[in-house]
Amino acid sequence: MFKKTTTQSSLFDVANYLKGALPENDWSFTFRDKIFPLIDEEKFKHLYSEKEGRPNASIKVMVSIIIFIGLEKLVWRAGEFQFSRRIDWMIATHTEIGKLLLIIRPCLNSIND
């Protein structure tokens, strides 16, 4: 089932929860504010059933993870390991602290199929 990424900020968003963890001029804030909103989820809508299944993980986050993996020349498993540990990746993708594995597992499963 297709579900668009919400733009509402969460109290548990890493940028809110760990204020000052990274300098304001870090690349993750630039990615979050300028690139993340440009990812068009509607282009992926046809890949999801409209009536069945659970809602998809955030397409914007999955595309962002693929971009990060490509930029840093990582393999998929290293990307999975990094996403749950890198504050800059979490800030760049508006990821809440408790939702890390709910996002990365479906992303890697769909790529490996």
- Write out pLDDT tens, residues 55-67: 567 788 888 988 9
- At 18-39, the pLDDT tens digits run 677 788 888 988 998 899 989 8
| Residues whose CB is less than 8 angstroms from the CB of residue 83 and which lie 6 or more positions away in sequence, other chains included | 65, 68, 89, 90, 100, 103, 104
Q: What Cα–Cα distance (Å) separates residue 9 from each residue in 15, 32, 54, 82, 84?
A: 10, 12, 22, 23, 19
Give pTM, 2 decimals. Answer: 0.71
Q: What is the largest CA-CA distance in the chain?
A: 43
Tokens of 22: 């990274």
Q: Are 56 and 2 in contact (CB under 8 A)?
A: yes
- Length of the chain equals 113
| Domain annotation covers residue 21 | no
| Domain annotation covers residue 91 | yes
The domain total for the chain is 1
| Domain annotation covers residue 51 | yes
Domain with 58 in it: 28-112
Q: Are 83 and 100 in contact (CB under 8 A)?
A: yes
